[in-house]
Amino acid sequence: MRPSFLLPGLLSLLFFAPGLARADTPSHADDEQKAAARMLGTEGVKLALSGDCVQAIDKLTRAEALVHAPTTAVPLAQCDIQLGRLVAGTEILNRVLREAFSENAPKPWIDARKRAQSLFDATEPRIPKLRVHVDRPAGALGEVNVTIDGEPMPAVLLDNDRPTDPGRHHVIASAQGFASAEADVSLADGQSQNLSLRLEPQPSAPPPVSPVPPGQPQPLTAPAQPFSPAQQPPSSSPNRTPGYIVLGVGAAGVAVGTIFGVLALGAKSNLDSACVPTKASCPVTSQGDIDSLHTDAIVSTVGWAVGAIGAGLGIYLIVSAHGDDSPKSARVNVHPWFGPGSAGVAGTFQ
């Protein structure tokens, strides 16, 4: 439905439309442009009178692009307002009202400005006002970007009233390092509404970096090393202590075997001198040497056996040692033992 003021104004424009090309326009367009503007303006007014403001806006906008005239600008503003674009329509009316007309300005222009003033006074109070506020963590840096229905809103309008057409609007706030915040708001004619959005840091976003003042050297940062899933923490050093312990026991066994072997050889030498011509003819006084020879020989044999086993096992444990974090590292408990006439090495594997 067309507003009551639209029909009389457009009928007046249609009557004076043929005189558009003869008007004293501020443009220096040639006659062809003036004729085209007159034709487009006339078609636009007819479309508006038929109720087709969408097509009328297209024709009237083209006419204005060729030759500006209040007689096309005012009906263009009327159609914008009729379609709910109050802000665009009142801005067109504002431009017409600010124009300076010459003393011999055509009467249709004077009438168009009067209609512009009347329409502006009726429409301007209907324009809603939207005030957008964006919260973000204290100390966060960087510019906040706000869009309303996909159109960027200047940052200077944050926390200030923004003239906005009535109806439903989608608002998005964003900033580097933060997740976007969105909200829908519906505005009625003449309504003033506040909208608050809060930005939350993205979990994977790096912390904001304070800008370096001019003239100050830039901080040096180490280049990021690429992460590979195959990277593993360094393993601990192999545990060779059990091997060294067993090897030490083997060395002790060799030393014991050597010492008692020398003692056995000494006792045997004494017996060889005393027991002549055979062992059966040994004097009673040589019984102590016989016992010593027997004991020393046994201890020497056991010592050499312990030495051989300890040396072999110790070398094996040292070579095959694993770190503490190895899933199958062996643990060995080793201890030597000695008994009457015997000795050896005992141990357990875990």
> What are the boundaries of each domain within the chain?
6-125, 129-201, 241-349
The answer to whether the predicted template modeling score (pTM) of the entire model surpasses 0.85 is no
Residue owning tokens 């050297």: 217
- Other beta carbons within 10 Å of 298: 16
Helix (H) or strand (E) holding 340: none
**Taking CA 281 as the corner, what is the angle to CA 260 and CA 342, rounded to the nearest 5 degrees?**
25
pLDDT digit string (tens) for 170-184?
999 998 888 999 999
DSSP annotation of 216 reads: S
Q: Is 129 exposed, middle or buried (0-12, 13-18, 19+ CB in 10 A)?
A: middle
Of all residues in the chain, the percent with pLDDT exceeding 70 is 69
Residues forming beta bridges with residue 134, ordered by sequence position: 197
Task: Please report which confidence band the pLDDT of residue 21 belongs to, taking 50, 70 and 90 as the band edges.
Answer: very low
pLDDT digit string (tens) for 257-274?
788 777 777 777 776 777
**Residue 225, SS3?**
coil
Task: Please report which confidence band the pLDDT of residue 325 belongs to, taking 50, 70 and 90 as the band edges.
Answer: low
| Range in 34-38, 181-185, 209-213 the model is least confident about | 209-213
Task: Please report which confidence band the pLDDT of residue 19 belongs to, taking 50, 70 and 90 as the band edges.
Answer: very low
- Other beta carbons within 10 Å of 28: 7
Task: Please report which confidence band the pLDDT of residue 295 belongs to, taking 50, 70 and 90 as the band edges.
Answer: confident
Sheet holding 151-153, edge to edge: 151-153, 145-148, 167-174, 181-187
- In angstroms and rounded to an integer, the radius of gyration of the C-alpha atoms of the chain is 54
The mean pLDDT of 124-142, rounded to a whole number, is 87
pLDDT at residue 233, as a whole number: 54
6-125 domain in CATH 1.25.40?
yes
Amino acid at 263: L
CATH superfamily of 129-201: Carboxypeptidase-like, regulatory domain (2.60.40.1120)
Distance between CA 22 and CA 2 in Å, rounded?
A: 30
- On whether the CB atoms of residues 168 and 183 are closer than 8 A, the answer is no
pLDDT at 142 over 90: no
Q: Where are the beta strands (DSSP E) in 97-247?
A: 129-135, 145-148, 151-153, 161-163, 167-174, 178-179, 181-187, 192-198, 200-201
pLDDT digit string (tens) for 64-98?
999 999 999 999 999 999 999 999 999 999 999 99
